[in-house]
C-alpha cells in the first residue's frame, strides 16, 4: 500500500510539471522539465514492477530525447513567441481536451482495479508466458524472452522503424548542411 501512495504522489508531481510545461515559454526549460518528467515516470515504472521499461525510459526517454531536444533548440530558437491567436481557439481546444478526458474517465469506470491479479489482461497469454517462457527460452527475464523470442518479429519491425527514422533524419539534415555550404 505504501508503494501505491508514493506512486500517486509521483503522478501528482507529473501532472503539476505538465501544467508548468503548458505555461512556460522558455523552450530550454520545457526540454529540461520533459527530461525530469521522464525520470519521474521511470521511478513510477519501477514501483509498478516494470523494471525493463524503467531502464528504457530513463536511458532513451530522458537521455536521448533530452539530448535531441537540446540539439534542436540550439539549432532553432530558445523562446516560444507569445500567443497571437484568437481566445476562442483556446476555449475550443480546452473543450475538446476536456471532452476526450471525460470520455476516457467514463471508460475507466469499467476498468479492473489497480493490481487486480484476476484482471482480463493478466489471464490468457500472460499466464502462459509466465509459466512457460523461462523453461522454453532459457531466459530468466520474461520481458526479454517475449521481446526477443515470442515476439521477435515485432522487434524486427521496431528496428525497421528506427532505421527508417535514422535514414530520414540523415537525409533531412545532410541536405540542409550542403545547402548552407
Partner 1 sequence: MNVIDFVMGHALQWGSVALLMIGLYIVMTRGNLIKKVAGLNVFQGAVFLFYISIAHVRDGTAPIVHEDAVLYANPLPHVLILTAIVVAVATTSLALALIVRIRESYGSIEEDEMAKVDMG
Considering only residues 2 to 41 of the shown chain, the ones binding partner 1 according to CB under 8 A are: 4, 7-8, 11-12, 14-15, 18-19, 21-22, 27, 30-31, 34, 37-38, 41
On whether the CB atoms of residues 119 and 125 are closer than 8 A, the answer is no
Tally of CB atoms within 10 A around 146: 19
SS (H, E, C) 43-108: HHHHHCCCHHHHHHHHHHHHHHHHHHHHHHHHHCCCECCCCCCCHHHHHHHHHHHHHHHHHHHHHH
Tally of CB atoms within 10 A around 108: 7
Q: Does 68 bind partner 1 (CB under 8 A)?
A: yes
Q: Provide, rounded to whole angstroms, the least separation between the CB of residue 107 and partner 1.
A: 9
How far is C-alpha 16 from the chain's CA centre?
A: 17
Cell of 124: 490468457
Considering only residues 93 to 132 of the shown chain, the ones binding partner 1 according to CB under 8 A are: 93-94, 96-98, 100-101, 104-105, 108-109, 111-117, 119, 121-122, 125-126, 129-130
Q: Provide, rounded to whole angstroms, the least separation between the CB of residue 37 and partner 1.
A: 7
Considering only residues 151 to 180 of the shown chain, the ones binding partner 1 according to CB under 8 A are: 151, 154-155, 158, 161-162, 164-166, 168-169, 172-173, 175-176, 179-180
Size of the site for partner 1 (CB under 8 A): 98
Q: Provide, rounded to whole angstroms, the least separation between the CB of residue 70 and partner 1.
A: 10
Q: Does 181 bind partner 1 (CB under 8 A)?
A: no
Amino acid at each position: 500500500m505504501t508503494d501505491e501512495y508514493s506512486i500517486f504522489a509521483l503522478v501528482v508531481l507529473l501532472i503539476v510539471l505538465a501544467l508548468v510545461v503548458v505555461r512556460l515559454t522558455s523552450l530550454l526549460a520545457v526540454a529540461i522539465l520533459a527530461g525530469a518528467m521522464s525520470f519521474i515516470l521511470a521511478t513510477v515504472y519501477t514501483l509498478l514492477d516494470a523494471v525493463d521499461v524503467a531502464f528504457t525510459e530513463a536511458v532513451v526517454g530522458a537521455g536521448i530525447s533530452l539530448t535531441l531536444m537540446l540539439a534542436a533548440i540550439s539549432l532553432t530558437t530558445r523562446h516560444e513567441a507569445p500567443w497571437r491567436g484568437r481566445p476562442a481557439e483556446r476555449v475550443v481546444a480546452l473543450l475538446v481536451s476536456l471532452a476526450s478526458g471525460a470520455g476516457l474517465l467514463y471508460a475507466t469506470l469499467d476498468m479492473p482495479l489497480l493490481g487486480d491479479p484476476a484482471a482480463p489482461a493478466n489471464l490468457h497469454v500472460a499466464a502462459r508466458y509466465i509459466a512457460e517462457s523461462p523453461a522454453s527460452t532459457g531466459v530468466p527475464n520474461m520481458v526479454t524472452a517475449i521481446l526477443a523470442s515470442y515476439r521477435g518479429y515485432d522487434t524486427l519491425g521496431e528496428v525497421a522503424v528506427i532505421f527508417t527514422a535514422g535514414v530520414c533524419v540523415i537525409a533531412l539534415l545532410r541536405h540542409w548542411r550542403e545547402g548552407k555550404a
